[in-house]
Amino acid sequence: MSDTVVMATAALKEVQATFDRIDPGVADDLASELAKVRRIVCCGLGREGLMIRAFCMRLMHLGFDTHMAGDVTAPPIGDGDLLLLSSGPGDLLLTNAMIQLARRAGSRVIVVTAQPDAPDPQLADMIIHIPAQTMADDMGSQSVLPMGTGYEIALLVFLDLVAVRLRELTGQTMDQLRAKHYNLE
């Protein structure tokens, strides 16, 4: 077996171990919350932000009024809206500021995190716990995945599963989603 296969097997086992510890109903819970709001603003920093951006695009394919925080086309957030924010380490100055701004505007807040007892998630209306390694707890780790990669991979897979549940909840077909896919490529 090549080193790549050995490393990939170890990485996939780490991600599987994360999903083994996730509350089995949490994807349904998040999908239900997202289906109830007027507008969804998504936020995440760094590589987590890339995972959240992918989910934001999937929400658009599903027909939701969804935007990335900080984009110049993002409208204001307020009552009836939701800030969906990833804060893997759970204690970041910028994400904390975003949560406080959304709360001040009257928006609900959901924080996805690996550290549910940290300051950011404690400000949320709902906490989604993805029990994976982040940079907050990687010192001395034997993980094959560097820094927060385990969390980021689990976040991407988890959010795609939420999108599947939302498609089922809204009764949409894959053809309906494809019809909303970007076509200038």
Catalytic residues: 152
Pairing type for strands 81-86 and 66-68 reads unpaired
Other CB atoms within a 10 A radius of the CB of residue 172 amount to 16
52: left (phi over 0), alpha (psi -120 to 50) or beta: alpha
